Amino acid sequence: MPALSKKDKLRLLKTILESRHADLREQNLNRQGKGHFHVSGMGHEALAAISILLGPDDYVVPYYRDRGLVLGRGMTTRELALEYFAKRNTGSGGRQMPSHYSDAAHHIWSVPTPTGSQLLPACGIAWGIQLDGKKNLVITTVGDAATRQGDFFEAICFAKEKKLPVLFVVEDNAYGISSYTRDTNPLALDALQPNDWRQIEGRDVQKIYDSAEEAIDKIRAGNGPVFFWIKMERLSSHTSSDDQKLYRSAEELRELEKCDPLKCWKDQLIAEGVLSAEEFAQIDNEIKERIRQEYRDAEEAEDPSPNELQVNVTASPPKLDDEILPPGKYRIGDTVNKTLRAGLEEDPRRIIFGEDVEDPKGGVFRLTQKLSTDFPKQVFNSPLAESTILGVACGLASYGKRPVFELQFIDFIYPGFNQLVTNISTLRWRSFGNWKCPAVFYAPYGAYLPGGSLWHSQANESVLAHYPGLSVVIPSTPEDAAGLLWTAMHGEDPIIF
Give catalytic residues, as residue numbers: 456
CA distance linking residue 391 with residue 424, whole number of Å: 8
**Quick one: how far is CA 90 from the chain centroid?**
18
Please choose, from the candidates 135, 131, 111, the residue with its C-alpha nearest in 3D space to the C-alpha of residue 122: 111
Residue 450 half-sphere exposure toward CB, CA atoms < 13 A: 0
Sequence letter at residue 402: R
Nearest-5° Cα angle at 415, 411 to 418:
120
CA distance linking residue 386 with residue 106, whole number of Å: 30
Q: Residue 360: is the preceding peptide bond cis (ω within 30°)? A: yes
CA distance linking residue 396 with residue 125, whole number of Å: 5
CA distance linking residue 113 with residue 419, whole number of Å: 12
* Cβ pair 206, 8 in contact under 8 A: no
CA distance linking residue 84 with residue 439, whole number of Å: 31
**Quick one: how far is CA 185 from the chain centroid?**
21
Residue 421 DSSP code: I
